[in-house]
Homo-oligomer: A and B are copies of this chain.
Amino acid sequence: MKEMMKKMALSGIATLFAEQMPFNQLLGIRVTHYDFERVELRIGMEGKLVGNPFHNILHGGVTASLLDVAGGMIVAASCLDELEDFSPSYLKERFSRLGTIDLRVDYLRPGRGTEFIATAHIIRSGSKVAVARMELHNEEGTHIAFGTGTYLVG
């Protein structure tokens, strides 16, 4: 029963991030995997997401945005895993307090590709603060960026 509640809540969070956050919709973020261990987000390359027009490269801010969202979602899943109350009102109150404290992005290679895949996992969990590490690859598996985010949980 509790497992089912948790899965429903997780599904609700995915919907919230992908369909109710305007900037995530502007970027075209889709949630292609989401459980308590790992999140995977995808966006397709589009002209409007380009930074450097001479080389048709993804804007570094899009990379940062995707990694921040992926980190936030895995932290949300990690919190969920420890909750006892899954009422919509409690969840909304709880997750509206979740926020990024700091984010580091290491840009490894130019953002070339037709699709970009962001993944995240938790490296430090806690009742007040959680830390996640994120990665961005393109559709060919080229590693484009690493990220690390510290999130306020409580």
A49 contacts B65, C-beta separation under 8 Å? no
Chain B hits for A18, CB < 8 A: none
Q: Is A113 in contact with chain B by the CB < 8 A criterion?
A: no
A24 located at the interface, meaning its Cβ lies under 8 Å from any Cβ of chain B in the complex = yes
Q: How many residues of A contact B (CB 8 A)?
A: 52
A68 near B64 with CB under 8 A, answer yes
Main secondary structure of the interface of A (DSSP, over half): mixed
Whether A100 sits at the interface, judged by CB under 8 Å, is yes
A8 at the interface (CB under 8 A from B): no
A9 part of interface (Cβ distance < 8 Å): no
Residues in B with CB closer than 8 Å to A59 are: 21-24, 65
Contact A64/B20 with A129-B128, A133-B146 known, Cβ cut-off 8 Å: no
User: Is A69 an interface residue when CB atoms closer than 8 A count as contact?
Assistant: yes
